[in-house]
Structure 1
Amino acid sequence: MGFRERGIEYKTPEQIVSMRVAGLLVGQTLELLRSSVRAGISTGELDAIAEDNIRSAGGTPSFKGYGQPPFPGTICASVNDEVVHGVPGDRALCEGDIISIDCGAIVDGWHGDAAITVAVGEVPDEVTELMRVTEQSMWRGIGAARLGGKVSDISHAIEAYVRGQGDYGILEDFTGHGIGTEMHQPPNVPNYGKPGRGPKLVRGLALAVEPMVTLGSKETEVLEDDWTIVTDDASWAAHYEHTFTLTPDGAWVLTALDGGEEQLAALGVPFGGR
């Protein structure tokens, strides 16, 4: 492992394999939470499910105690107009809600980080489409990454896809990031911008790509808990995230259960996993 170019951490192939262990635990936890989402369950109950699953597998929640004030949960649970960093608690989900669940885990010192948005029962068509657009923009971003390219190639692909699907807000104040021995590392991975800029995409670089898209404004504010980010105009939002890396064979999504193979194949992107 080495550090160069503004503190960016580059992993050996063996260390990337270790990151895959953490990534799989995050992916498995999110699938467990997806199947647990229902009307009447509280965000705190979902948090307890996540913590138990992570600790039972020998992992440590990445989020719990993170930052100032210390984040109190294992997951970020953001409902409807809450975009990111929602604090889990007593709030019970209702039919027609959506919840964005962000989850991180540490295994043997390596981090995995991913997020999904889940509908609680039936939701309006425009909300279903918002979720689809946000998730697919993430995959377009990952699919645009090539060894020798630049970080903003990912950013541009995300923005271009979202803009081509309709009039949506793309958060600019919150970005994806490098990841490895810490959850948040350089470089930032914005969800907008021109291609061909930023650090070079090389082997050993691991990135968390996470578009946050709204039905209205991109402007947000922080609630009194100093964590939960909501839209200024109360428009609903979706959030998806995966941790990925590039190998000589292609992209490897460390937090996807299949390594991203199915989604990458649909885009005609080479799969670099094992």
Structure 2
Amino acid sequence: MIELRTAAEIEQMRPAGAFVASVLTALREKAAVGVNLLELDELAHRMIRDAGATSCYIDYHPSFGAMPFGKVLCTSVNDAVLHGLPFDHVLRDGDLLSVDFAASVDGWVADSALSVVVGTPAPEDLRLIEATEVALERAVAAARVGARLGDIGAAIGGTAREYGFRVNTQFGGHGVGRTMHGDPHVPNDARPGKGMRLRPGLVIAIEPWFMAGTDALRTDADGWTLRSVDGSRGAHSEHTVAVTADGPVVLTAR
């Protein structure tokens, strides 16, 4: 069921968005050569405890997950592109790291993701990250009252093709509110002018993610981490966005 939020409720969601943004900012600053993924997860866990927030991931167990997630971050490295389960891995020079984080503050959820290169960046990795960020910026701009879901998907898919990347449509954005994943599904590729019309009060996570050489995924042995089938690298950008009469509001702006 799609739920529309009042202006007052959107204001109540701002602390969750600000908290998620602050955690991702701290993680981006912490990520460096020699840092273990488990250290990043512990930093986020500590910030959750200090803020009195609640993790949306640690007990999460959807149908596609092998077991409850058990961590508070998704950390996807290089050819891991989504749902990366943090493990005992020390970041190396040139690693492409995507971090996805969602938390609840006072009963409201926000969800966001970013990608960075640790150490010395390869130009092709920076271009891949740029593509997701440009796609996100264009998709947010399309999230206006009277537009349609397909306009958001077209902005993302069109950007991917502009940069020469394919689009996987198995996973995309979603509604956000009292829970992390709700209706509607927000596609990462679609025809403009098609789909549900956007109304004031709709709050969605918009999350373009691209892989450099393929649009196909495989599931890692941990039962969670999704990797490109050809070993090419992936990048991921995401914001929680409220559709309002005054235009889109990025609740997780950093």
With normalisation by structure 1, the TM-score equals 0.89
SS at match of 1:106: strand
> SS where residue 169 of structure 1 aligns?
coil
The alignment partner of 1:152 has SS state of helix
Q: 2:190 is matched with which residue? A: 193
Q: Amino acid of the residue matched to residue 200 of structure 1?
A: R
In structure 1, C-alpha distance between the alignment counterparts of 2:170 and 2:5, rounded to whole Å? 27
Give how far 1:88 is off. Answer: 0.7
Q: Which runs of 4+ in 1 moved over 3 A?
A: none
Report the AA paired with residue 116 of structure 2.
V
Q: AA paired with 1:110?
A: W
Q: 5+ unaligned residues in a row in structure 1: which ranges?
A: 1-6, 258-274
1:206 is aligned to 2:200: no
Residue 263 (structure 1) aligns with: none
Say if 2:144 and 2:244, in contact at 8 Å, map to a contact too.
Answer: no
2:10 alignment partner in structure 1: 16
For residues 52 and 171 of structure 1, what CA distance do their matches in structure 2 show? 34
2:201 and 2:247 map into 1 onto residues whose CA distance is: 12
Unaligned runs of 5+ in 2: none
Distance 1:42 1:168 in 2: 30
Assess if the C-alpha contact under 8 Å between 2:111 and 2:239 holds in 1: yes
Q: Which residue of 2 aligns with 1:220?
A: 217
Tell me how far apart the structure 2 counterparts of residues 161 and 103 of structure 1 sit (CA, whole Å): 24
Deviation at 1:9? Answer: 1.1
Q: Tell me which residue corresponds to 2:226.
A: 229
Corresponding residue to 2:145 among 137, 147, 171? 147
Give me the identity figure in percent: 41
**How many pairs are equivalent?**
250
* Partner amino acid, structure 2, of 1:13: A
Among 149, 165, 169, the alignment partner of 2:166 is 169
The alignment yields a C-alpha RMSD, in angstroms, of 0.9
8 Å CA contact 1:55, 1:61 repeated in 2: no
Per-residue deviation, residues 130-178 of structure 1 (Å, max 9, x unmatched): 111111111111111210111111000111122112x213221111001
2:35 to 32, 41, 45: 41
Q: Which amino acid aligns with 2:227?
A: V
